[in-house]
Copies of this chain bind each other. A is one copy, B any other.
């Protein structure tokens, strides 16, 4: 299987670091780091760090409120994916001395509102003067040891779910690039980390990961870690967010492209054993949540789309590496993706 360029870079950086003996997961194995605080404490500490840099640099996020909101949500989404409940977030910010007060205060408002939405807190921070705006977070939470969930554990026959419809991240990115005049574009995309859903998922799922980098990225990662074959269903109008479905139709794009954008929708992607499916769906219903069945796990390896024509294999490694080779230019990325779509004729 094709190696993932981004992972090679991370692994190279991490090569000289020793593994902490009290850390549950190894590199890539969970969305957040899981730390054992000792036998006397029945929860793992869940830790993650995520920065909002590239989305600001390439113009995807230009509203300071959204930047603040996304910093919080992207970090807590990683906690949601291990089933953790948030304690709070630390924030490190650098900005030029010329940065205007109004935009800083909008940024702080985005952070504050996102934390209140999740009933959590900013615990502390660090401010620096720098050449460009740079914004990094570190979220902290707790998860009961007996029901912690990682990216590991999917097995053939498992059912593949998404916590909500796919593709809103790609719709936002597409409109931001090609149709800035789209009405209420800024309010269109304001994801909420799936903390409450994560607390149900952790009780039933065999593995979980968030779709911060899009569904294809997530499914490819889970497939590689669990060494199974991941099948995606092709009834796109059920799987995709209505706007994503509509946009693909209008722009004459293959619907799976909405899953391939590296700018995701921050849903949770997880697998459930067939025998647990009914009880899981019952619990989900109890909180008014409708998880979406998007596929299944089979014997073998790789990712395929199941359509009326049969199984169409997808080179998800190739797709992921486009984003690494396209750098952070979304135009180049979409062009390369579309070329693949035409070749693959999915």
Residues of A within 8 A of B (CB): 9-10, 12-20, 22-23, 32-33, 35, 37, 40-41, 43, 45, 47-51, 53-54, 57, 87-88, 90-94, 97, 104-105, 108-109, 111-112, 115-116, 120-132, 134, 136, 138, 140, 142, 327-328
Given contacts A129-B328, A130-B132, 10 further A-B pairs with CB under 8 A are A13-B93, A17-B111, A17-B112, A37-B37, A37-B43, A45-B45, A48-B124, A49-B138, A50-B126, A94-B134
A20, chain B: closest CB distance, angstroms: 4
Contacts of A40 in B (CB 8 A): 40-41
Given known A40-B41, A57-B131, A136-B92, contact A126–B35 (CB-CB < 8 A): no
| Nearest chain B CB to A245 CB, angstrom units | 31
CB distance from A70 to the nearest CB of B (A): 13
A105–B126 Cα distance when bound, in Å, is 26
> Are A35 and B123 neighbours in the complex by a CB distance under 8 Å?
yes
Q: A19-B121, A94-B134 are in contact. Are A127 and B48 (CB under 8 A)?
A: no
User: Residue A45 contacts which of B91, B92, B109, B140 (CB distance < 8 angstroms)?
Assistant: B140
For residue A122, which residue of chain B has the nearest CB? B17
Minimum Cβ distance to chain B for residue A86 (Å): 10
CB <8 Å contact, B134 and A54: no
> In the complex, what's the smallest C-beta–C-beta distance from A52 to chain B, in angstroms?
9
A57 CB, min distance to chain B CBs, angstroms: 7
Chain B proximity of A100: nearest CB distance (Å): 13
